[in-house]
Structure 1
Amino acid sequence: MAVRGFFYNATDLNDKEHMYNGQDMNEDKAPFYKEGVAYGHLQVTAPGGTMEVTVDGGTRTGYAYINLHTIHNTAQLTLTLSQASGTLPRIDRIVLRNDETERKPSIYVLEGAFSSNPQAPELVNNDVIQEKSLARVYVAAGAVEITQADITDERPDKTVCGFIGSQFEELDFSQWSAQFNKWFSSEKKAVEKDHAAFIKEYTAMVQQFQTERTAQWDEWFTAKQEQLAGDVAGKLQLQIDGLRTKVHNMAHKVNVAYLLETIQAAVTVTLTNITTGTVQTAAITENGIGFYITEAGDYTLETNMESVMVTPKRLSIDYMDLMHTTTVSLREGTNMAYIGNYMGTYLLKESEV
């Protein structure tokens, strides 16, 4: 039959389809186990004092699995090694053997050759005989006993023995990888197609934006060229003058205000530019009056009433703000002069004349 199942009851002795043999029993384990020695089983040790070694056995330490056969060493086994050479060493192997022709397993000593550079003997592995090396035993020249130091455990070595393991220890994902790669390739193509469409649309948008902005720039630049054609300096000056007319007519104007409500009479205030000697005089009341100044510099400010300001005050106007109206005011008892605008009031540098 092409498809078989293990195991079904036979209806009677003539039910050939449901008759099984030893090979069927063995094949039932094949998908699940890797062959070798059960972990910790069949250890080779040397009791010492003789040329003997022992191999563990029993229900807890005597199992192996070779060529689909479960092998059980039911009791501890003692093996005797051949006599040593008086001049040359050799290496023997303790071997677990499965023989399909004899249809039975065995454990025996596979003896190596005497040599100044001894090598372990080769194992046999074919369709009929399969061998696993449990241990190497070094037989020194003139040796009369085997010690534990002479024994090398080979059970962990997968090349000559190995431990029984699950067939699922290393999973093969090649089938799933092939399916995933096919799906990923399809998705990649779709994403690349969408990306190409986006780049095309984005590029068109950028080009349209650049075209529109270029046209706007060209229009503005052409207009400026026409404005600046001919007498460039003159046209620029006219534009500057036009801007100046937009600045409130209080620019350069210093408003000096007498803020003492208790004094009703007018006070004469004199503003003198120390550097140029320009003098401006005005009478002010609580409503104040203004002086026009045209340059920064050091000024003296004085009144004709000691009750308002005993001594002249010196003001340093560090810069001229053409965009703001400034106010200088006198305050009772402070002997200080202030300058400010609609943004607030700022203390000017001042000193006694």
Structure 2
Amino acid sequence: MPVTSVESDAEALTMTLVADFPVGTERLWAVFTDPRQLERFWGPPGWPATFDAFDFRVGGRATYSMTSPRGERAGGAWEFTAIDEPRGFEVIDAFADESGDPIEGMPSMRMVFSFDATPEGSRLMNVTHFTSAEALEQVVAMGMVEGMTLATNQLDAVLAGLREFAQGKGTQLEILDDQHVRITRLIEGPRELVWRAHTDPELMRRWMLGPDGWRMSVSEVDVSVGGTYRIAWEPEEGTEGEPFGFDGETLLLDEPRRIVQTEHMTGTDYPSTTNDLSFYEEDGATLVTLLIEYPDAATRDAVLATGMVEGMEQSFERMERVVIG
């Protein structure tokens, strides 16, 4: 992981994050000064950012919002106070409302981004300066350390480019914590088609099958917010196994970029998971990212032990053959 340390200093009223990357400082500078690239990592998993404004000049402002899987919103605003290309820049970082105005009672912080060359590439140093010990304690209690670490650790995929980062690696699993896993797969095809493959019942029947010898027997899908779905599989003749299926509800929809749904195994009292599915296209390839929230580590481990990731890879391979072509 790129992040090597995150330390808070109550005496100096600072929090310092250090991360190392195998790219030059110019590439790191470009990522932090382009809002479209910033959106891919500025926000921890499950809370992706959208920058509504980005006026990159001294005195200019940037505003953004992060949206949770359940549609909750957290806003922020930067005021650019110093720019030293390509070595770094400084901002006043504030919690913001829907209009981009600072929220009364929430702390504002001076945040310094520095990009330095190293023998292996470059180093990011992000130093946040607080006005009081209480403000530092407040953001630490809100999970700022964990959030910044998870967000910055997403930078590898952005810096490398999709094909260099993911091509040929198949379906990849990352265990983020006791309740969250992230699964990624690069598909050689446009985002609109990959989106349809995940939401069109007829297309789903063609590829979302897991191992050979199974067929999708039910595909009832309403992807509107609040809409429900039910999908089920059964073994074909000569294949061993018991029919099973899932049902759930759509919580959030941002076509064709993101869809969040609950998932429950039909006919059981097993707890539901929250499945946060996003699609990012670059140069004709689409990165599919599935962030799953489990109720606890035991449920997470039980599901992963079923061979879910292997089944997903077989399905993705089939999608590329029969849907993407």
Q: Larger Rg: 1 or 2?
A: 1
Question: Same fold per TM (> 0.5)?
Answer: no
Which has the larger strand fraction? Answer: 2
Into which bin does the TM-score normalised by the smaller protein fall?
Answer: under 0.3
